Amino acid sequence: MKKFTSLFTLICAMFITTATAQVNQTIVFDFSNGLWNINTMENNNYSSYKKVAEHTNGTLTIKIDPTASNGSYIYDARGFVQLSKPGSKIILPTFGFAVEKIEVVGHTEGGASYKNVDMNIYVGNTAVSTACTGTTETYTYEIAADNQASGNVYELVIGSNGGNSSSVMCISCIKVYPAASDDALTIIAPVFDHTPGVYTSPITVKVSSPTAEIKGVEEVAYYYTTGGYEPDEECDTIKNGEITISETCTLKVILEFKYGENYYTSESTAAEYIISEEVTYEKATTVKAGKYFIVANGNIALPFENSALPTKETTVEDDKVSDAEYYAYTIEEDGNGKFYIKDANGLYLSTFMGDKVGINSFAAKDYAEWNIAIENGVAKIIKDEYILVYRDNKITAIKEANVTTTEIYPSLYGIFDEVEASIDSVDSDNQEAIIYDLTGRRIDEIVKPGIYIVGGKKVLVK
């Protein structure tokens, strides 16, 4: 059984955590091996190297910015990076430990033309060390104590006397040393490349963590669950950094790895993925029990959230809407001509009590009866003195007394049976089914031709 270090501190809402460990890690950016993707100069042409660009070597990345004074940079095949002009700089990545010093090694074959360039280490616009005058030898920048924190972005910047062609920075290696008093390794919880949300088809989620890329980190494993409970080392692992989600679940993942002689584990990262089949609903001309999209101004109402129904864009075409079934609301009849409206999470739509205007959600049907009538293609959804309208990209409730002529009302889109074969009449005295007209009003008998809802089906009466 592995022995895991478990001293973690949650430092932000995005599940970035720290764990204490004995670490003696020095990050080395070695330009002498020719493995960096920095092009060499051809025919004395510097034009390709005057812009900001990132360069990599394995898991290490730097950014070079020569733009401050129209500078330039190249990679010399003898094993160094040459950078000129005041303000030009090499930007290092962030580190998961406090930095005590940064050591810069000049190229030993550079000659006199590469000497006498003052440089310093900056965090933003603040110099965090004492400037050194470059030579062909090694020079060290001691980082001020109050600028040693992990997560800083350190920049090696040419000073004011780097402005002539014979004074350039010529570097074969940069070494970054952790603070002797700080042996904390920053452990970053797993990161997913898909945001939580609703998807209409299976997705492949890529899982990663910058911690796994730190030099010296070994035996990396991502343990996961899809049932909402916390994973541990007894759970399945994610293979090749990817996992396919084909049904609704809450994915939780932890990172475990070996560093030095110890094993470490991160806090878990969680995301709810809802896989919901795409369905097509047509515009309703009447209301009965069933599933409906609530749509207003080209926006579909999402499940309940706080005091209103948030919305997202959808496509209305030929009086039909195609979207994830998860966004459909279930309308239930109460048997007395009113309706309940329930979202995908099983919560019922209601208004606040008293004079508060808005929408709240309840798991019970108490105070959740609505009158629904279709008029001129829109739904008048009313409870007591409140009516649903579309305002500020959400569907909310306002008092009917405050309705203006510019209000946007929602429409309902559902699935409906085809009209039954036409009949000459309906003997209402002998029928047991409840009858509604196309406005959703319950009637006792049919007295004139038209389309009615009889027993939950459309019927054409001649």
How far does CA 188 lie from the centroid of its chain? 16
Q: From CA 436, how far away is CA 454, in angstroms rounded?
A: 7
CA–CA distance, 143 with 128 (Å, rounded to integer): 6
Question: 148, 98 in Cβ contact below 8 A?
Answer: yes
Name residues whose C-beta falls within 8 Å of residue 123's C-beta, 6 or more positions apart in sequence. 147, 152, 153, 154, 155
Tell me the longest C-alpha to C-alpha distance in the chain.
Answer: 111
Burial 174-207 (b: 16+ CB within 10 A, else e): bbbbbbeeeebbbbbbbbbeeeeebbbeeeebeb
Which superfamily is assigned to 24-178 in CATH?
Galactose-binding domain-like (2.60.120.260)
d(CA 391, CA 452): 33
* Distances 394 to 82, 303, 350, 378, 414 between C-alpha atoms, Å: 57, 11, 15, 16, 20
DSSP three-state, residue 325: helix
From the list 58, 107, 104, the residue with the least C-alpha distance to 78 is: 107
Q: Of 102, 147, 94, nearest to 120 (Cα)?
A: 102
Nearest to 209 by CA among 268, 274, 273, 272: 268
C-alpha distances (whole Å) from 179 to each of 6, 96, 99, 102, 175 are 22, 11, 5, 10, 13
Q: How far apart are CA 405 and CA 169, in angstroms?
A: 70
**Residue 208: CB partners within 8 Å, gap ≥ 6?**
190, 191, 193, 241
CB-CB contact of 381 with 359 (8 Å): no
Beta strands 262-265 and 4-5, pairing class: parallel
Query: In 3D, which of 77, 73, 79 has the Cα closest to residue 169?
Result: 73
278-414 CATH fold: Trefoil (Acidic Fibroblast Growth Factor, subunit A) (2.80.10)
Which pair of structure tokens corresponds to residue 255? 């990172």
Domain ranges of the chain: 24-178, 188-275, 278-414, 420-461
DSSP label of 145:
G
- Measure the CA–CA gap between 9 and 413, rounded to whole angstroms: 49
Q: Output the pLDDT for position 133.
A: 57
**CB neighbour burial string for 291-311, b if at least 16 within 10 angstroms, e if fewer:** bbbbbbeebbbbbbeebbbeb
Q: Please, what is the Cα angle at 188 between 185 and 194, to 5 degrees?
A: 165
d(CA 75, CA 82): 6
| Pairing label, strands 118-123, 126-127 | antiparallel
Task: Tell which residue, 361, 375, 362, 411, has the closest CA to residue 390.
Answer: 411
SS3 400: helix
With beta carbons less than 8 A apart as the criterion, state whether 257 and 218 touch.
Answer: yes
- Side by side, which strands form the sheet with 242-245? 191-192, 203-208, 242-245
If you classify domain 188-275 with CATH, what class do you get?
A: mainly beta
Are residues 461 and 452 in contact, defined by beta-carbon separation less than 8 angstroms? Answer: yes
Between CA 142 and CA 100 the distance in angstroms is 6
SS3 percent helix, strand, coil of the chain, rounded to 5, is 5, 50, 45
> Which pLDDT score, from 0 to 100, does residue 40 have?
62
pLDDT tens for each residue of the chain, 462 residues long: 343 333 222 223 333 333 333 344 688 888 887 777 776 655 455 545 677 888 887 778 899 988 877 777 888 777 888 887 888 889 999 887 788 899 988 776 554 444 556 788 999 999 998 877 555 567 789 999 889 888 899 999 887 654 444 457 788 889 998 876 444 567 889 999 999 999 999 999 999 998 888 878 899 999 999 998 999 999 999 999 999 999 999 999 999 998 877 788 999 999 999 999 999 999 999 898 999 999 999 999 998 766 688 899 998 998 999 999 999 999 999 888 899 999 888 888 887 654 455 676 667 787 788 999 999 889 999 988 889 999 888 998 888 888 998 999 999 999 765 444 444 444 544 445 777 766 566 787 887 777 777 776 777 776
Q: How many helices (H) and strands (E) does the chain have?
A: 0, 45
